[in-house]
Amino acid sequence: MPPSVIVFADGVVGSHCVQWLARFHRADLTAIFTTSQNDIYWLALEEGLCAHEFDNEESCLQVLASHAGTIDLGLLLWWPQLISHQLIDVANHGFINTHPSLLPYNRGKHYNFWALVEQCPFGVSLHVVDQGIDCGSVVAQSPIHYTWEDTGETLYNKATAAMKALFENTYPSLRSLTFASVGQDLSLGSFHYASELGPASTIQLDEPTTARRLLNLLRARTFAGHPACTFVDGGIEYEARIKITKRK
């Protein structure tokens, strides 16, 4: 008998994973929640799956009330919101979250920026959801190598691809409900709020730094279509990006 799985999905990773689940493990999917009536929502409906637009937790819990006690596992697939313990407790084996960093490094926001700025190990993780932020026990990880040629954009793209692969490779153990997990040593890692990005990306022209730190900062904010590092000179604000290539 297949497990009963509820999915909260958003973004490119969420879309990919829902398509993959619908193709290979359709019978597992009890309900799918999306942030809006987006491509994931319409895909689920077209596949004949039970899809709901997430308004708030209260309405979500009302939808799930008819499945009380029968839901085995919850999945947060690129889900942008925190969830409460009431929702976590709906699933008998809890929730698993996708996080694009090599936990415990870079919990929180803007993993691709901080990996380059802090020069720490990088990768993607699946972890158990608890009441903290990205601090639950790790179920699976995949490290990602990066070089001087990488930017915030290339790390984002690498993490996106690696997360899709890690989810597909790990899901068989997740659906068996016998998956193991290992606690994080949070003293080894780091955590960042979204509000830290702007101040950290501001270059103070007359403050001492190193060439290494400046180059890492510039490439961390190099991402087409997104703001770059900024500095002010003569009352005029400028943006700065960089491209580093290996000499042939």
- Residue 1 pLDDT level (bands cut at 50, 70, 90): confident
Distance (Å, rounded) from C-alpha 126 to C-alpha 97? 6
- Length, in residues, of the chain: 248
Same domain, 140 and 234: no
Mean of the per-residue pLDDT values of the chain: 96
The dihedral sign for the CA sequence 210, 213, 216, 221? negative
Same domain, 149 and 229: no
Same domain, 151 and 102: yes
Q: Do 90 and 74 meet the contact criterion of CB atoms below 8 Å apart?
A: yes
Give the predicted TM-score (pTM) of the model: 0.94
Write out the residue range of the structural domain in which residue 220 sits: 193-240
How many domains, in total, are found in the chain?
2
The residue written with tokens 């158990």 in the block is 128
pLDDT digits (tens, 9 = 90+) for 54-80: 999 999 999 999 998 999 999 999 999
Q: Do 71 and 64 meet the contact criterion of CB atoms below 8 Å apart?
A: yes
